[in-house]
C-alpha cells in the first residue's frame, strides 16, 4: 500500500514537533542580548520617522487631564501662584500684566479658566484607533480583518 504524500509530510512535521517538545530549541542568548540594543534603536528611529509624518489628533481624556491646569492656581493669602501651579507649569513668570505660565511651549495668562491648554496633539503609533481611522479616511484603506471587542451579555 502506497502512503499519500500529505500523510508522510504530516508524520515528518509531527516528529519535528515531538523532538522540539522533548529537547527544546537552540537559542543563542548571548547573540540575542547583543542584538537587542540595535533592534531597539532601529525601532525608535522608525517610530520617530513615521510619527513625524502623521497628522495631529484629538487628545484622549487622560492626555487632556495632563494639560489641564489645577483649579487652585493662586495662594489666597500671598496672591502668588500655588504650589500646584508651580508643579504643573514648566515655568512661571510675573510680567507687567500679571502672571504667565509656560507648559510644553504654550504661554498662558494666569489664572487659566478654559479647561485643557490644548486639545490636539501629535498622533502617535500607540493611538491605534485614530491611526486606523485616519488611514481609512485619508487613503481609503479597507482593513481585511476587524478585531471586534467581545460584548458581554447576561450569558457571559
Provide the residue ranges of all domains of the chain, joining segments of one domain with +.
Answer: 1-53, 54-69+115-148, 71-113
Percent over 70 (pLDDT), the chain: 94
pTM: 0.55
| Model pLDDT, residue 128 | 85
Number of H helices, E strands in the chain: 5, 5
pLDDT over 60 at 156, yes or no? no
Q: What share of the chain is helix, strand, coil (3-state, %, to 5)?
A: 40, 15, 45
Instruction: Give 51-95 pLDDT, tens digit per residue.
Output: 999 999 888 888 888 888 888 888 888 888 888 888 888 888 888
Cell of 146: 476587524
The number of angstroms, rounded, from the C-alpha of 66 to the middle of its chain's C-alpha atoms is 15
Amino acid at each position: 500500500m502506497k502512503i499519500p504524500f500529505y500523510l508522510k509530510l504530516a508524520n515528518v512535521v509531527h516528529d519535528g514537533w515531538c523532538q522540539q517538545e522533548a529537547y527544546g530549541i537552540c537559542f543563542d542568548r548571548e547573540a540575542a542580548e547583543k542584538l537587542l540594543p540595535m533592534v531597539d534603536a532601529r525601532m525608535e528611529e522608525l517610530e520617530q520617522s513615521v510619527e513625524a509624518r502623521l497628522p495631529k489628533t484629538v487628545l484622549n481624556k487622560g492626555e487632556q487631564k495632563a494639560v489641564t491646569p489645577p483649579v487652585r492656581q493662586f495662594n489666597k493669602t500671598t496672591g502668588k501662584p500655588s504650589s500646584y501651579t508651580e508643579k504643573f507649569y514648566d515655568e512661571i513668570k510675573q510680567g507687567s500684566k500679571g502672571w504667565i505660565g509656560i507648559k510644553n511651549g504654550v504661554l498662558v495668562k494666569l489664572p487659566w479658566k478654559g479647561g485643557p491648554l490644548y486639545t490636539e496633539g501629535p498622533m502617535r503609533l500607540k493611538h491605534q484607533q485614530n491611526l486606523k481611522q485616519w488611514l481609512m479616511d485619508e487613503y481609503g484603506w479597507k482593513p481585511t480583518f476587524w478585531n471586534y471587542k467581545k460584548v458581554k451579555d447576561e450569558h457571559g
